[in-house]
Structure 1
Amino acid sequence: MSLADKVLAVNNDLPIRTNQPVHSGKVRSVYWLTPEDSARLIQEKGYDVAADAPLAIMVISDRISAFDCIWHGEGGLKGVPGKGAALNAISNHWFALFKEQGLADSHILDIPHPFVWIVQKAKPVMIEAICRQYITGSMWRAYANGERHFCGITLPEGLTKDSKLKQLLMTPSTKGILTGIEGVPEVDDVNISRQDIVNNYQAFNFQSSQDIEIYERLLQQGFDLISEQLQSIDQIFVDTKFEFGYVTNAAGEDKLIYMDEVGTPDSSRIWDGESYRDGKVVENSKEDFRQLLLNHFPDPDILLNKDRMQERSALARDNELPQSVLMQVSKTYVEIAEKIIGRPLHLSDNPRQEIIEVLRSQYQLVD
């Protein structure tokens, strides 16, 4: 079996029973179950959701995206071996800890396979909640260019690149294009302030203004918990993105939950502690891959300039990256996952067939 065969690159054509189009994102695909299958699983498995809640199968892939494009390698390698299993294992670990520590639940109801989640439908809060403990990346680039105001927060003078901030900064941005909100441009992923959220909480899908404080508390607690755990394996939690939504439990109560993924190398920056103390940043996250792309291509502006998206898409489509590059990314993801979960990662030789088999035999979702 070739290396390419071990990679799950296409995840939107599995024979999972559904009567809706499969939604395929950059990394995950979502199969909405029929109302009959949803109701059957809720009853059989005892999920704590409303009896008529819509459920979905969420299948991760090994695809790698950066700068809003999907990248591929030589030899038909359409993804990164071990990446999907690593991302799911890390998220599962943090979600379980959040629940155990009494923070909040997640959208995940069941984990049939290392690549698969059974999730409940949530009404998303239309905010990408970004938390920053260090000044680096886009914030540092803006700061170095003289900007001092970020999402209603003013940063002091004299900060240096990659240094720790005095407190955790919450720098939210919009999730999707929101219309009709005063002072918020109608474009995706635009920075907003806490005051913007307070003034327009309903437009962001908060059920009450009090829920803004719950969301901020869950942000702080979630960040602190992951940060402390990473510190125990000498890793630094630099910054991350959280997403939230509302679900209804079996008792008919609405609750705010964590959704999407948490604390992964895709959604966070994680630095090696020992290297940082020696004055060097060693990334254990996708940021390393982003930097590699910026160094690999002669005109990095194509990757950074949103006005050059057409050229960027062509760059990703027409360039096979060296296999060694994707294997280095694989090493980064697998190693940080195994450090976090404290055991070897299960890596499948044929994830596609395994997924089909478990969903057929244990969940009766494959005809």
Structure 2
Amino acid sequence: MNTITATNYNFPGQQSVYKGKVREVYTINNDLLVMIATDRLSAFDVVMPKGIPFKGQILNQIATKMMKATEDLVPNWLIATPDPNVAVGHLCEPFKVEMVIRGYLSGHAAREYKAGKRILCGVPMPEGMKENDKFPEPIITPSTKADNGAHDEDITRSEILSENIVSEEDYLVLEEYTYKLFQRGTEIAAEQGLILVDTKYEFGKTKDGKIVLIDEIHTPDSSRYFYVDGYEERQENNEPQKQLSKEFVRQWLISNGFQGKEGQQIPEMTDSYIISVSERYIELYEKITGEKFQKAEVSNVEERIKDNVLTYLK
């Protein structure tokens, strides 16, 4: 059960550390970012008390693989991956919005639809849809990028522009990149017998003003996948879709009375449940990438990461 749930490094040239829900980002010499994917598990914007073995490695390796598979379409921040849990890239100023794109009526969109809403983030959703139906065209439903511990909130395109969170010129680029990435992600998923249902992208600006893709991409934490096989049949029979995402964690939490709301207690995650979640993440990795997962050496994860990052920075 060796996991890494927090880091406290002091690398040469280190200027600051940002600790997100899952990743910890070290700024080096006002030039590089060293992003460490921990084994923390976040659901409903709440970090669970225990880490999931190999989760950070899985997220980092899927994200870096997908960055390389899309760099011909959209520039990204990535320079190197000196450790299974680490990505090193260009220092960027992140945009304060997450570009959520949905091809299907699932998750948050489905919950809003069931509640009678037909407009999500200013975007109309057609009448007569049922959960997990495909939208006529993918829709972008942005959210605010919350600071530590706060909930991301739905926001409309017009609010983003009127509140000057992003300039119109930049926002047009974010939209174009989001559609392009989702199309490529859909094609990559189809090769593995999967449907990319919805996902989110984050972008930043490099010091020379270039807009680039940052953070993670097409991972089970940021994306939802269905299996192509049996999708139509399940829709016709009003059955739940077989999916690859961390939705299984959310559903387990909901069934145990937790949705991140005030006053709710996080249910106890037993060791056997933690191991089952780890196994699900490994299954997700293998299905999404089509490759066998190679477990990294975890007898001392913190030392391994430190040594690999120091070697790289030299």
Q: Please, what TM-score do these two structures have when normalized by structure 2?
A: 0.89
Tell me the distance in 2 between the aligned counterparts of 1:263 and 1:168: 16
Among candidates 38, 42, 46, match of residue 69 of structure 1: 46
Gap change, CA 1:150 and 1:88, over 3 Å in 2: same
Alignment match, 2:141: 171
1:193-342 equivalences under 5 Å are: 193-200=156-163, 203-206=164-167, 209-248=168-207, 253-279=208-234, 280-295=240-255, 297=256, 299-300=257-258, 303=259, 305=261, 308=262, 311-312=263-264, 315-316=265-266, 319-342=267-290
Q: CA RMSD in A?
A: 2.1
Which moved further from structure 2: 265-274 or 326-335? 326-335
Tell me the distance in 1 between the aligned counterparts of 2:206 and 2:310: 27
8 Å CA contact 1:89, 1:341 repeated in 2? no
Q: Tell me the secondary structure at the aligned position of residue 244 of structure 1.
A: strand
Which moved further from structure 2: 130-139 or 270-279? 270-279
1:55-204 equivalences under 5 Å are: 55-72=32-49, 78-99=50-71, 102-176=72-146, 189-200=152-163, 203-204=164-165
Alignment match, 2:311: 361
Which moved further from structure 2: 151-160 or 233-242? 151-160
Gap change, CA 1:213 and 1:205, over 3 Å in 2: closer
Gap change, CA 1:261 and 1:362, over 3 Å in 2: closer
8 Å CA contact 1:173, 1:191 repeated in 2? yes
Tell me the distance in 1 between the aligned counterparts of 2:74 and 2:111: 34
1:27-42 equivalences under 5 Å are: 27-33=22-28, 35=29
Tell me the distance in 1 between the aligned counterparts of 2:310 and 2:108: 45
Are 1:22 and 2:32 matched, yes or no? no
| Displacement of 1:19 | 4.8
Tell me the distance in 2 between the aligned counterparts of 1:275 and 1:145: 27
8 Å CA contact 1:114, 1:346 repeated in 2? no
| Displacement of 1:151 | 1.8
| Displacement of 1:267 | 0.7
Gap change, CA 1:320 and 1:189, over 3 Å in 2: closer
Alignment match, 1:39: none
Q: Which amino acid aligns with 1:204?
A: I
Q: Tell me the secondary structure at the aligned position of residue 361 of structure 1.
A: helix
Tell me the distance in 2 between the aligned counterparts of 1:347 and 1:15: 26
What whole-Å deviation, never above 9, does each CA across 1:254-300 have from its counterpart, x for those lacking one?
Answer: 211111111110011112222434414122111111101111x2x34
Gap change, CA 1:360 and 1:54, over 3 Å in 2: closer
Q: Tell me the secondary structure at the aligned position of residue 274 of structure 1.
A: coil
Gap change, CA 1:304 and 1:139, over 3 Å in 2: farther
Q: Which runs of 5+ in 2 are unaligned?
A: 235-239
| Displacement of 1:188 | 5.6
Alignment match, 2:237: none
Percent of aligned positions that are identical: 30
Gap change, CA 1:24 and 1:211, over 3 Å in 2: closer
| Displacement of 1:138 | 2.0
8 Å CA contact 1:271, 1:284 repeated in 2? yes
What whole-Å deviation, never above 9, does each CA across 1:137-177 have from its counterpart, x for those lacking one?
Answer: 22212212211112222222211111111110111122238
Tell me the distance in 1 between the aligned counterparts of 2:268 and 2:9: 26
| Displacement of 1:23 | 2.3
Q: Which amino acid aligns with 2:135?
A: L
8 Å CA contact 2:121, 2:142 repeated in 1? yes
Tell me the distance in 2 between the aligned counterparts of 1:304 and 1:23: 23
8 Å CA contact 2:197, 2:225 repeated in 1? yes
Q: Which amino acid aligns with 1:271?
A: F
8 Å CA contact 2:160, 2:166 repeated in 1? no
Paired positions, count: 305
Q: Which amino acid aligns with 2:205?
A: Y
Q: Which amino acid aligns with 2:83?
A: H
8 Å CA contact 2:27, 2:91 repeated in 1? no
Q: Tell me the secondary structure at the aligned position of residue 206 of structure 2.
A: strand
Alignment match, 2:302: 352
Q: Which amino acid aligns with 2:186?
A: S
Q: Which amino acid aligns with 1:225?
A: R
Answer with 1 or 2: which has the greater Rg: 1
Gap change, CA 1:156 and 1:91, over 3 Å in 2: same
